[in-house]
Amino acid sequence: MKILAAMSGGVDSAVAAARAKEAGHDVVGVHLALSRMPGTLRTGSRGCCTVEDAMDARRVANLLDIPFYVWDFSERFKADVVDDFVAEYEAGRTPNPCLRCNEKIKFEALLDKAIALGFDAVATGHYANVLETENGIELHRASAEAKDQSYVLGVLTQNQLRHCYFPLGDTPSKTLVRQEAAERGIQIAQKPDSYDICFIPEGDTRAWLDEHMHREPGDIVDQDGNVVGGHDGAQGYTVGQRRGLAIGRPAPDGKPRYVLSIRPVSNQVVVGPKEALNVATIAGGRYSLTSEPGFDLASPFRCEVQIRAHADPAPATAQLIEINEAERTENHRAEATHEIVVTVDEPLTGVAPGQSAVLYIGTRVLGQFTIDRAISRRPSGF
């Protein structure tokens, strides 16, 4: 096959490109320039997609003796990832920009361009498996769950999966990948993994948001709507937060209060007891399917749901339902007519609207949705 290897400058994508070439494919390397004003150097392992990363990717391509290009996707990245990130915070949600980047940049913009140029597939260093079954193409967890990255790929569609190539899917550990890189003479074998949001390399999300959003003072209220304090901008708060709350009076029981939700329309931050963070049901109207389910989504079905990249999957029952207009709230997406509703067997904690929930049946990824509503187990929940 003719393979376009997306090379981030990290060890995973370097080994993926090397394996693709070793397997006999015609491989071309490409690095995506996503920042309009990239820094010249990384700070430890913070951020990614810098000039230094592009140089690392080029050195690997030279070692592998494959053609190498840098493609400027900065305009598309700003529109589909950065602007979406800001819009989600303005709507009172906490987004995952890495999933949005996979959806809109790496496996939409990049893949579309690759296919237009005659490539058969795009190879990346993700740890996941694509299987062809009698029901079509399916995305499955990697062989080693400790490194499994199927969660961040849950946004992919059936057609996109047909053009995805994940050479690392059967590799048991990242340690083995680093060892293989060293044996191949790849100099970045011990390069640290990147973390934090790539366009906020300093890691201070609140300070970054302050520069990109207007802050409007508002009320901090309890679950019954009583004003208990004030805030200088709701975007500075996250669900589950305890410290930094400007609450003028203690709770009746004297226990600490936590952020339970953000109400963007009324510009309120809702606080309450820790037990109210236990979530029984999550729902979202921004959803997609990775593979054909093989059953009616409108009927309740058993599955597992994962709400963070490294979270344990939680047994649950899910269903696709039509939104009742009489029951629509500010937490529903205005454009959504249907939503996926998931009720977990045991309560989830640390759930914030804006997070992505990925549904699994066994090791197979069924699809994903962005959480719009997280409903507490308590009857007086939000």
Which residues are known catalytic residues? 101, 198
Q: How far apart are CA 125 and CA 249, in angstroms?
A: 51
Give the closest residue to 148 by CA, choosing from 121, 123, 173, 165. 173
C-beta of residue 365 within 8 angstroms of C-beta of residue 108: no
Selection from 265, 292, 96 nearest residue 197 by Cα: 96
Segment (H or E) for 179? helix 174-183
Instruction: Classify burial at 205, counting beta carbons within 10 Å of its beta carbon; exposed 0-12, middle 13-18, buried 19 or more.
Output: middle
Distance (Å, whole) CA 19 – CA 60 = 13
Q: Computed over its alpha carbons, how large is the radius of gyration of the chain?
A: 22
Q: What per-residue string of b and e applies to 277-307 under the rule 16 or more CB within 10 Å gives b?
A: bbbbbbbbbbbebbbebeeebeeebebbbbb
Listed in order, strand segments (DSSP E) in the chain are 2-6, 26-33, 68-72, 121-123, 128-133, 136-141, 164-165, 218-221, 227-231, 258-263, 268-272, 279-284, 286-289, 301-306, 314-322, 338-348, 356-361, 364-370, 373-376
State the Cα–Cα distance between residues 309 and 79, nearest whole angstrom: 24
